[in-house]
Amino acid sequence: MILLDGKGTAATLRMGLAVEVQNLSRQIARTPGLAVVLVGNDPASQVYVRAKEKAALEAGLNSMVYRLEIETSQKELEALIDKLNADDNVDGILLQLPLPGHLDSQACLERILPEKDVDGFHPINMGRLALGLPGLRPCTPSGSLRLLAHYGLNPAGKKAVVVGRSNIVGKPLAMMLAAPTINATVTVCHSGTKDLGAECREADFLFLALGKPRFIKKDMIKEGAVVIDIGINRTTSGLCGDCDFEDVKDKVSAITPVPGGIGPMTIAELLFSTIQACKWRNQL
Ligand code: NDP
């Protein structure tokens, strides 16, 4: 069984990115900038934002983190997004989700300029993904595919099953897998799927993004499958994925750990996106 080490892979990728940031900074005579906006004090979001800030700084990006009070109004948040949209030193804007309940996430996401939308959640970028046009892509699906590529695991011509159809993970991942660039044959499962086990047992590549701790057991997995566990679940015994790692580990050919799998890849992907956004904005 191959343990797909996202933490180590992301660290290697980030070193290469630091060199790219240096070169790019010379070309554009400034440092590419990433602005991260966090509203409120959700503990998990605070951890994610700190990790993103650290990775951005280590890669040599101009990292700007805006920590706003939980009482921030829609108008105030939109004013900040407008300011960042207009700031030429800002190449990427990431709005950390979830937002406090009184704020309209969709309206805020749509307010970010598509060319600075490094999370790839703007309808323009999702539409470009659906149409197979270049654009900024959601980081978790991209990071999952980059990890597979790093290990030489190619889903082309294979059966891929994606469990979960959220706008941020399952849906864009399914679109990317089915695109001619990857060429997998894709099934998408959700809470309306009749027999989840039967669908998962068909998968050569099984992508889990349902957010249910240790839900997928070995009787739901094909012998020799590659399992990409995207779930991050907080339990009393710590973080775990959507898959019961101990139960399935002797049946799979490769699997991501949680933590240390897709989480760090997602953060590395945010840096890739920022560099890409900066290049496109500068016609490079
Ligand atoms: P959502 O809750 O938005 O979506 C979950 C999806 O799973 C839904 O489509 C839901 O179906 C489906 N689902 C839930 N239960 C079942 C079930 N029993 N059988 C089949 N399908 C089911 O979650 P997200 O996509 O935002 O996140 C999924 C997981 O990934 C979470 O654990 C999250 O923490 C993690 N995550 C990890 C990231 C990383 O960097 N590694 C980044 C983002 C998320 P339906 O649509 O019918 O409700």
Annotation: binding site: 164-166, 232
166 Cα: distance to centroid of ligand 1 (angstroms): 6
- Tell me, yes or no, if the two domains 29-113 and 139-263 fold the same way: yes
Question: Which class in CATH covers the domain with range 139-263?
Answer: alpha beta
Q: Atom of ligand 1 at shortest distance to CA of 241?
A: 32
**pLDDT in the model for residue 265:** 98
How does the average pLDDT of the chain come out, rounded?
98
pLDDT at 26: 98
Which pLDDT score is estimated for 84?
98
Collapse the DSSP code of 277 into the 3-class scheme (helix H, G, I; strand E, B; otherwise coil) and give the result. helix
Q: Would you say the CB of residue 208 lies under 6 angstroms from ligand 1?
A: no
Distance 276 CA to ligand 1 centre (A): 27
Residue of the nearest CA to atom 42 in ligand 1?
140
- Tell me, what's the pLDDT at 178? 98
Average pLDDT value for residue range 226-236? 97
Query: Which residues on adjacent β-strands are paired with residue 141?
Result: none
Is the shortest distance between the CB of 60 and ligand 1 below 6 Å? no
pLDDT tens-digit series, residues 88-125: 999 999 999 999 999 999 999 999 999 999 999 999 99
- The pLDDT of 193-209, averaged and rounded, is 98
- Residues with a catalytic annotation lie at 52, 96, 119
Residue in 146, 100, 145, 92 with CA at minimum distance from that of residue 121 = 92
Using CA atoms, how far residue 100 sits from 14, 43, 156, 196, in Å, is 31, 13, 40, 33
Band the pLDDT of 12: cuts 50, 70, 90: very high
12's CB contacts (< 8 A; 6+ apart) are none
How confident is the model at residue 65, as a pLDDT?
A: 98
185 Cβ below 6 A of ligand 1: no
pLDDT at res. 2: 98
Find out whether the beta carbon of 105 lies less than 6 Å from any atom of ligand 1: no
The secondary element (H helix, E strand) that includes residue 14 is: helix 6-28
For residue range 140-194, list pLDDT tens digits in order: 999 999 999 999 999 999 999 999 999 999 999 999 999 999 999 999 999 999 9
Domain ranges of the chain: 29-113, 139-263
In this prediction, does ipTM exceed 0.85? yes
Of the candidate CATH numbers 3.40.50.10860, 3.30.460.10, 3.40.50.720, 3.90.1150.10, the domain formed by 29-113 belongs to: 3.40.50.10860
Give the percent of the chain with pLDDT over 90. Answer: 100
157 CB under 6 A from ligand 1?
Answer: no
Residue 210 CB–ligand 1 contact under 6 Å: yes
Distance 178 CA to ligand 1 centre (A): 19
Average pLDDT over every residue of 226-247? 97
Site to substitute for ligand 1 among 230, 244, 256, 266, most atoms within 8 A of C-beta:
230
How far is 14 from 65, CA to CA, in rounded Å? 19
Q: How confident is the model at residue 196 (pLDDT cuts 50, 70, 90)?
A: very high
Q: What's the Rg (C-alpha) of the chain?
A: 19
Q: What is the DSSP letter of 124?
A: H
Q: Is-cis flag, bond preceding 264, omega within 30?
A: no
- How much is the pLDDT for 74? 98
Q: Amino acid identity, residue 205?
A: F
Q: pLDDT value at position 133?
A: 98
pTM: 0.97
Ligand 1 centre distance from Cα of residue 76 (Å): 30
What pLDDT was estimated at residue 90?
98
pLDDT at 140: 98
